[in-house]
Amino acid sequence: MTQVPHRDAQWVRAAYESFVGSAGSHEPDGIDPVVAASWRRSLRNGVDPDHPGEVAVAASADLDDYRRNHPLAIAMPLVRDLVGGATSDDLVIAVSDDIGRLLWIEGRGPVRSAVDHVGFVEGAVWREESVGTNAPGTALATRAPVQVLGAEHFARPVQRLSCTAAPVHDPAGGIIGVLDLTGGSAAGFHVALALVRATVAMVERELAARTAARLRESDGGRPAWAGGLDVDLGLGVGAPDRTPDLRVLGTPTLRERRISLRHAEILLLLAEHPRGLGAEELAVLLHPGDLSLVAVRAEISRLRRVADGVLGGPLLAGSRPYRLARPLSSDVDTVRSRLGRSDVRGALTAYAEPLLRRSVAPGVERLREEVAAEVREAVHACDDASAVEQWTARDEGADDHAAWTRLARLTPPGGPQAARAWAHLGVLDRRLS
């Protein structure tokens, strides 16, 4: 059984001090494996925990020119729409390039002062090699989304902060930057990770759409099926939700036409990996055992015919790797968008049931667990008693002790809701004991 990493602040700090104090001879057992591996790299790179390397900062004039021509410049309005509402006195948004240079930092208040104080400023390069474990640098090192909470940072001056980051890929699959949320405890919530991942996915789709549009212009024409490429991709705070193309929170459909479970699995996985997936990767993500590449290719061929019939034009492009030829929104995007703007009740309404509940595909099971965790954590942090009650009325919330406790504390003392919540907590306590 896989050990669940410790993320309790005191436990992590004790493990950190033991690891650093022993110069790495005491293994950081129980720590998030991504963080533990980063600590080892930081130690090997000679990062001083108390005095990390001097962070080089680009001249402002040079930085302005560089940012203006950077591929992510055109995506910044979308980033602000999607994540801007999350910034507060407790969070800042940061976007770096592919070498860890911070290009844009947006936020205000005490947390902006705190990040400025440790050198987390526009033009600075934040890589593991110089400052040790940190979400933007570690996301670049691992090429994957990562959260670094408090004492999980290798450099002590940064340990008052938490951060969540994910790399951004261009349409060819190369990393062109990193999106990061840094600040207080809110930056370490699972909802922050969901928001960053969803925003990166939408940015990558926007970049892919713009690239496709440029290719069409260079070809001197525009295919009739591509009419949907110019729709507004923004699902940010205050923006209306798009009607999703793909529904996977219930009976799977594509543009309201029912599709097979396997086709829904493939479309969902490709939507989650905009840079594409090879046949071997799809085989691993689709089946817990062995799935032949012939079977994968045959299913993709059938899916092409189905999708072309529904959309009136190609949805899948290429085969090395397989990828979507156009952005594809799903009802999972709707849930995550509503969570991102703190609309927990709306997210629960969109979250009709677990993601493709009948699927046993490993890649889908992982996504199902992630979405469920994102919704559950938002409920636990919610101040809306109606939303919490809505969750506890579902199968997933029936035995959720933390949610019932939240409901009991949010409802008026002595009222019927509170009485029911405390009674249910009693039942859960007796069952657990």
At 307 the pLDDT is: 84
User: 299-316 in b/e burial notation, b at 16+ Cβ within 10 A?
Assistant: bbeebeebbeebbeeebb
pTM, full prediction: 0.56
Quick one: how far is CA 230 from the chain centroid? Answer: 24
pLDDT computed for residue 235 by the predictor = 35
Beta bridge partners of 183: 91, 162
In order, the DSSP letters of 220-277 are T---GGGGGGGS-----TTPPPPPPSEE-SSS-EETTEE--HHHHHHHHHHHH-TT-B
Spatial separation of the C-alpha atoms in residues 342 and 85, rounded to whole Å? 9
* Higher-pLDDT residue of 97, 215: 97
**Cβ-count burial of 148 within 10 angstroms (0-12 exposed, 13-18 middle, 19+ buried)?**
buried
Cβ-based neighbours of 428, under 8 Å, separated by 6 or more: 399, 401, 404
AA identity, residue 110: P
User: What does the pLDDT look like over 298-330, one tens digit per residue?
Assistant: 888 888 888 887 877 678 776 678 888 777 888
Q: Which of 139-153, 204-218, 293-307 has the lowest mean pLDDT?
A: 204-218
Length of the chain: 433
Which is nearest to 328 in space by CA: 314, 340, 342, 341? Answer: 314
Domains and CATH numbers, the chain: 1-222 (3.30.450.40), 238-367 (1.10.10.10), 382-432 (no CATH)
- pLDDT digit string (tens) for 405-422? 888 888 888 888 888 888
Pair 428, 400: CB distance under 8 Å = no
Please say if the pLDDT value at position 284 is more than 70.
Answer: yes
Lowest model confidence (mean pLDDT) among 27-31, 141-145, 286-290, 393-397: 286-290
Q: CA 250 to CA 397: how far, in whole Å?
A: 18
- pLDDT of residue 236 exceeding 70, the answer is no
* Token pair listed for 186: 């809110």
Residue with tokens 């690239």: 211
Q: Is the pLDDT of residue 233 over 50?
A: no
